[in-house]
Each structure stands twice: as C-alpha cells, then as structure tokens.
C-alpha cells in the first residue's frame, strides 16, 4: 500500500519524572536533534500510566503512544516500572486483538543519563509509524458505520 509521504505521525509520550523525562531534558540540553513528533506528558512514574490514558490518546487521534520509564531495577519507586511492563504487555495484547499494530504502542527504558537513547527511540518509533501510516481512530469512530472498508480507503 503506498504511503502518504506528507504524513507526520503524532506520538504521545508518557515520560516518568525521574528517568525518561530527564532523559528528554538531557537530549535537549545536549542539542540532540530528534523527530519532533513525540509530545511528552510528564507522570511521576511510568506506573501511573493507566491503560485508559493510552486508549484515550489513540481515541483522540494519536498515531502511537510511547511509554518511557526507568530501567528495571532502577525505578525511583522501587518497582513501578515492573508494574508498567506487566500492564503494557496485557494492553498490547488487547490492542493487537483490536487489530492495532504492536509498533504503535511502545515501552522503552531510558535512564536520566540516556538522552541519546531516548532520542533514538523516538526517531525509530516515528519512522515505524510513518511506515504504518495514520491510525485515524477518531475519524473511524466518528463514522462508525463501515469498519474495514473505511480504514482501507483511508
């Protein structure tokens, strides 16, 4: 299927206050340029990311959702990120059953010193979603009527 080259994916990022938000700060401070497609929202811990937030973001038109937290074993709140991982795997399974490509919802670990790694993750995810094309859940839900035909046509 030919892809729209003008398509700029919109990715919502949930960054934990202690590691990944700081990693994004560091990427900026170090002037590491990366895709401007990820729009960050700060949460205290990746464990705060309610699966509803992800669904809400996709519902509101995001093409993908990135959840970033501290590395396992380095969570500021001992093991919040492990709970994130657990929820994430279940959520992704559910989303897969809805037909969502797994690349659209990603979980990455980035410590406060890993600005470069976070920037690379954003770049990689942006390109993966660009290749997949827009998600268009809101339009889909607005039209309601025909399902797959609409998606294809879009």
Partner 1 sequence: MQHKPQEKPRIGVYICHCGTNIAGTVDVEEVARWAGELEGVVVARDYKFMCSSLGQDLIENDIKEKKLNRIVVAACSPLMHEKTFRGACQKAGLNPYFFEMANIREHDAWATDDKTAATFKAKALVEGAVNRVKFHMPLEPIPVDINPNTLVVGGGIAGITAALELANAGYHVYLVERSPSIGGHMAQLDKTFPTLDCSACILTPKMVDVGQHENITLLAYSEVEAVEGYLGNFTITVRKKARHVNEDLCTGCGICIEKCPRKVIDTEFEAGLGYRKVIYRPFPQAVPKYPVIDTENCTFFQRGKCRACQIFCPTKAIDFDQEDELITFQVGNIIIATGYDLFDARRIPQYGYGRLANVFTSLEFERMVNAAGPTGGRIVLRDGVTEPRSVAIIHCVGSRDKNYHEYCSKICCMYSLKFAHLVRERLPDAEVYNFYIDIRAPGKGYEEFYHRVLHEGAHLIRGRVAEVTDAAREPGEEGKLIVQVEDTLIGKQRRIPVDMVILSAGIEARKDSKEVAQLFKMGCDFDGFFVERHPKLDPVATMTEGVFIAGCAQGPKDIPDTVAQGAAAAARVAGLIHQGTVLMEPVRAYIHEDLCSGCRICNNLCPYNAIVFHEDRQKSEVITALCQGCGTCVAACPSGVISGAHFTNDQIFAQIEGVLWDVRAKATAPS
In whole angstroms, give the CA distance from residue 125 to residue 72.
21
**Residue 67 Cβ vs partner 1, minimum distance, rounded to whole Å:** 11
As a dihedral over the C-alpha atoms of residue 111, residue 116, residue 118, residue 120, rounded to 10 degrees, the angle is -150
* Contact range with partner 1 by CB under 8 A, out of 17-25, 90-98, 99-107, 125-133: 17-25
Q: Please name which of 98, 112, 102 lies closest in space to residue 147, comparing C-alpha atoms.
A: 98
Cα atoms found within 13 Å of the Cα of residue 108, Cβ hemisphere only = 28
Q: Which is nearer to partner 1, 124 or 136 (CB)?
A: 136
- Residue 127 interacting with partner 1 (CB under 8 A): no
Cβ nearer to partner 1, comparing 105 with 114: 114
Please report how close the Cβ of residue 113 comes to partner 1 at its closest, in angstroms: 5
Name residue, tokens 């700081």.
22
Restricting to residues 28-47, which ones interact with partner 1 according to CB under 8 A? 28-29, 31-36, 39-45, 47
For residue 17, give the 3-state DSSP assignment.
coil
Cα distances (Å, whole numbers) of residue 151 to 51, 83, 136: 24, 33, 8
Site residues (vs partner 1, CB under 8 A): 8, 10, 12, 18-19, 21-22, 24-29, 31-36, 39-45, 47-53, 56-57, 60-62, 70, 73-74, 76-80, 83, 87, 111-114, 119, 136, 138-139, 142
């Amino acid at each position: 299927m030919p892809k729209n080259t003008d398509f700029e994916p919109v990715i919502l990022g949930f960054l934990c206050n202690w590691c990944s938000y700081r990693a994004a700060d560091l990427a900026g401070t170090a002037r590491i340029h990366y895709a401007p497609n990820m729009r960050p929202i700060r949460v205290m811990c990746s464990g705060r990311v309610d699966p509803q937030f992800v669904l809400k973001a996709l519902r509101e038109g995001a093409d993908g959702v990135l959840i970033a937290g501290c590395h396992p074993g380095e969570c500021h709140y001992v093991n919040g990120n492990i709970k994130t991982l657990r929820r994430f795997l279940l959520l992704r399974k559910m989303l897969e059953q809805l037909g969502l490509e797994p690349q659209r919802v990603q979980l990455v670990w980035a410590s406060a010193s890993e600005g470069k790694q976070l920037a690379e993750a954003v770049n990689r995810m942006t390109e993966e979603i660009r290749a997949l094309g827009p998600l268009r859940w809101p339009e889909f839900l607005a039209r309601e009527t025909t399902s797959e035909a609409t998606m294809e046509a879009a």
